[in-house]
Structures are given as C-alpha cells and as structure tokens.
Chains A and B, each alone.
Chain A
C-alpha cells in the first residue's frame, strides 16, 4: 500500500443552486482502502459523492485521482478515470432488463469482472436476467447496481447507503460481497448509516456534520467512540 492517496479531496466546496452545501471538505483514500462516511441525514455525505463524481457541477477546491484533476472534466469523462458510482436510489433503469442494465456502463479499464464471474457472485441476477430491471426486489436491485460497476473495470467504487431499507439477510450478503471486493484490491468509498455493517468492512471512518468533515479515525476505534458518535449522529 503506497502512502500517497489514490483519491485526494482538498477544500471542496459545493452548491445546490444558491445553497452552499459543502464547506471545505478534505478526504483521502489510499489504494485498496475502504473508507466510510458517517453523519446525520443532510450532513453532506451523498453530496460529497455526487461532487466527486461530477454530478453536482457547482464545485470549488481540489479533487485528484492518481494526481489527475477531476474538477475540470466533463461528467462522462470522470467514469473513464476508473470511478464507479452506485447511487443511493440505485438507478436501475425500468426500460432495460437486468442483463441490459448490467451491460449498460461502458468499460473504463481492463480487469473488470467478466459477466460469468458476476453471475456466479450474484446467482439471482442470472436467474432473472430477462426481467425488467425494476421488477427485482430491493436487495436484487442493489446487487445489480453494484454488479453493474464491477463489470467496467472501475478500481474505486463510490457506494451510497447500499443497505438502506434491506432485510438483514440481504445486508449480510452485501457485506460478504464488499469483503470479497476488498480482497480483490478494490478501493471503496462508502456512505453508510448502519454501524455494524460499516464496521465489518471499513478501514477508516470520516464523520461529517453540516457539510464539513469534523473527525476521522481508524476502523478499530469505532467501538471506543460509540458515545461520541451517538452524540453527533443523534442515534
């Protein structure tokens, strides 16, 4: 593991229209690391992912991937730098079947999973490959949203609340998938409310409040900081 960050965010400010939503966010992710953003609803976690991807366009500051500036790139060039995005709403397309959804994102680099590998990791998707994408259960849609970016060869995955609203047994399955991805050397930026889930996969945590990074600590300190977290997160 090299010490220079793979993805480097410095002093990131962002706006939704006139409303200033990110205030100087700093964030580092090293190659192969899994980093989790914690924070209340509205703290700016999803906004941070959207700003890194370039979906949120009104930004200032620095976003660098392997030293390459992402801020000046048009939206469709960002994925080609190796970022894969799994949005909170999952973004499964109703007018595409499962297999078309899976094949939709263009390949961005060598070394993505083959379709066979993906179907062996997610057998449900193979069974339902001809179904309309949005006819899948919530858990299956989440699997599909993750599977979709694994095919492209993206090396960094931005994953927004993958366990939201899912049954515990599905959450367990998604946790297993993330552990498997870590083993493959994938770098993951995770937004997650579920501590127990995040603890299983995260190497480091960032804590966000009101559009700012207020703290960061390594994964093993999570238990010791529970009281502090409960106060900030209000859970």
Chain B
C-alpha cells in the first residue's frame, strides 16, 4: 500500500514537472538566441569632453545598475522613465543586429507581447502570462488606425472598436451627448508651433537668399500672426494660446517675457526694415496627421497661409508630406521655409520641451543653434530645485523669443473617447501613453483605434506618438509614469537612489522579471539596451533610421559620434 502510494506520488510529481516544463515555454520564440549568463559589464566614456551627459553605465551585480553622469541632472528619473529607454534582452539585441526583427517584434517585459503585425491593417498583442505585475484585463489587445476622425468615430459608434484617440473637435459635443460613449479630455500638455529653419541642410540651398535666415523676418512673422484667432476658431474647448513654448503646468514653463502680441502694422514695418517690403514667397510643410496639439492640420495651415498673405504679403505654398518622411526631413534639417509641427510632453520637465528642441543635443530642425539658448538650458538642466532653475529658464525663454526659431501657437486640448461602461480604469493620459492593460470590455479582446500606424516598434529610434503608445504596451523602462498621470514610479527598478550632487544614480532591479521570450532580466540587459543608443560606435547603433533622437535630445551628444 505504502509502495503504491509512493509510486503514485512520484507519478504525480513527474506529471507536475512535465506540466510545469510545458507551461514554462516562452510565449515568444526567439529561435537562434541563447541566454548567456550574467557578466558584470561597464561601458564608459574616457572623459566628459565628448559633450554628452553620460559618463558610464555599469552592471555592478546581477540586479544593480549604476549610471554615472558628467553633470548633475535632477530630471534624470523622469528622462530614464521614457519609453525610448526601455529594456530588451542583451542577447536579442545582439541577435537582431540592432534592427530587422527588432523593429517589428520587440521583446519586452510588459503586460502584452506582440503577437502579429499585419502592416496596413492591425497590430495584435496578447497578454503575457508571466508578467511580473498585475495581469492585463484583456487577453487580446488590437491596435487599429485611421487618419480620418470621422471613420474613428463611426467605428466607435458602431461598436467595432472600444476606444479612439483624438475625436475631431467638431465631434466632442456629439460624443458627450451620446450615452453609449464617454469622452475623456486630455490636458493640454503639448505645444503646436510654426517652425523656421534658419539654415536648411539641403545641397545647393542658398541660405544668403533665405529670408527666414533673417531674425527680423522671423520676428515680423511672429508679430503678424494672430494666434488667438487660430485657437478661437480652429481648436476645441480646453485649448489655449501658447505664450511660451512650454505649457505653464510644467515648472518654469512660463517664466520670462510673454510672446509677441499680434500687431499687423508693426509686423509689416519690421518686414520692410528687414528688406522685404513686398513680402516674399515661401513654403509651409506639414503632415496631414491629427494630433492632440493639432486637431485639424489642413484648416490651421490654410489660416496661417491666409494670415501671412493678408498681413505681410508673404505667399505661402502649402506642401503636405507623408508623416514619416516629414519627421525625418525635420530631424535632419532638410525642411525649407516654414513647417508646422508640435510636441506632446513625454515627462513634465523643461528638458523635455526647451531642452529637447533647442538644447545642445537638439536636432537640426530649426537650423543653426543659438548659444545663448543652449548655455542657459545646459545650466538650468543641472540644477535640482525649480527656484534655482528659474533664472536660466527665464533667460532661455527670452532668448527663444528674441531669436524666434519657431512661433508657439497653441496648447491644444484633445481627448480620448471610449465606449461607456468599460471595466477597469479607462483613462486618458496627459502624456498620450494610455495603458490598455488596466481596462477591458469583458469579452477578452479590447480594440483601440488611433490616428496612424506605428512606424516601427523599436522605440529607441522613434519619436512618433503612435509608435510610442504601441511600444508602451510591450516594453518597459527602469522607471515609468503613473497610469493616466505624470508622476514617476518604479517599474523594472524596484528602487533607485542618487548621490548628493545627482551625478551617480543606482537602480536596484526587480528580481525574477521575465522577458516575453523567457529570458530573465538582469543588469547586463540594462547596460546593453542603453549603451546601444549612447555609443555611436556600437555595431547595434542602427535602429530604424539611426537617429536615436530622444537620446541625443535628452542626453546630448553620442559617445564616439562621427565627426560633423
């Protein structure tokens, strides 16, 4: 009897082990990639003369990462929490060569993994059973997209999708009046601006004859554009005229002098003084893509066109570009004339607004940089308290106003609409990074429709919000942002600390966190994920375009950056 019992027990244990082995099979197979054992690694710059913010990244032990900076950075937790700095397995990064499969099938630690991406149609995510946190409410998450706000609304009304991004401004009232739907306004933590490129990087372009290289011309346009009229007529409720580049809700966003008031006569006189009494002809580029900061791009572009003709006799030819091509051209400084673009907060700090756009590491979008702006921003970014930073951001805001690399137009109110009666926590995020694992409709499949298809899912090298939102369901950073808010909270790091002068940051990783391919998170993965972005000489520093704009925008020059 005893013997039979022990045999039975052994069989049960054996069956249990077999079932466990079957259950442990990873949900995402990365064939050909083998998990290597942890090795302490350190990537270090020889010194800080290269111009970037990072000095070193070190895997101290399996669960400890130390980042040493060249300069103090009080906003470092907010920055490192951003989607672009998400962690993927070091072995997978090496296997993909930094692009290829990485662009379509990222391996993250998030509540969802990428199941299937049918280009041009839909992106399907499945719930990750081994997720370290609270499991996703829906087994399947589907991303669909349409550039047409009318189509998005019809899909929501007909019930084929559960939530939509950016309903058209004219549809807000309709959604609010429909008991089957719910509108969730998104705070205007963004900026829409009219940008100028004072020195386009285009072969054969004669910048001496470029009117926009002349500061007085840019100032004249700043005075000759009635921004209040644009916001009053073409933006939804909750929007406001931007008197500064950065929204006032962000500390030190609105310090210094307010933007120029509308004065058509003074603008005309200044334009004449600059040598263009009869105006000139230029081009306005933009992408016909709805964003929270720009709910009706065509209409706004045509109003700017009409105003500049009426007030300054500047003939503006509108050129609409494909979204990806437009962003690439903007980043590489190839846009001539005017361009209409915007920015939504990734984290609530001036470094994400002024710093990213006009700092030393900013792209060539606005042409040549202005040293008085970059110096003030560099100094401001290194100080911990808002009071200490204020004088530097005052200087920076005033210098932006004087040089006019762009005209801030609006902080656009936008929203998200869902079906009424959803379970969990349907929300809109001021950062535009809605988390869909915390909401469901009870059917097991949640469908979200946004404005456009993601460009790629390797978000280290993407800046487009539609791509970032998709990445945020899959990959995670050391820190993250509160669901529906902006506060920074631990994610893959369960805790972090800094030295007194904020140059050494130590992160303690969560134990036992699994990647979607079954690998276990360790400090070497963190070093690999960050260093491929930081080190331009790293063979994996390839990505989708190789720009890694967020890294350079937030942390300055790349290590081993090729000479200009």
Please indicate whether A and B come from the same complex rather than being unrelated chains. no
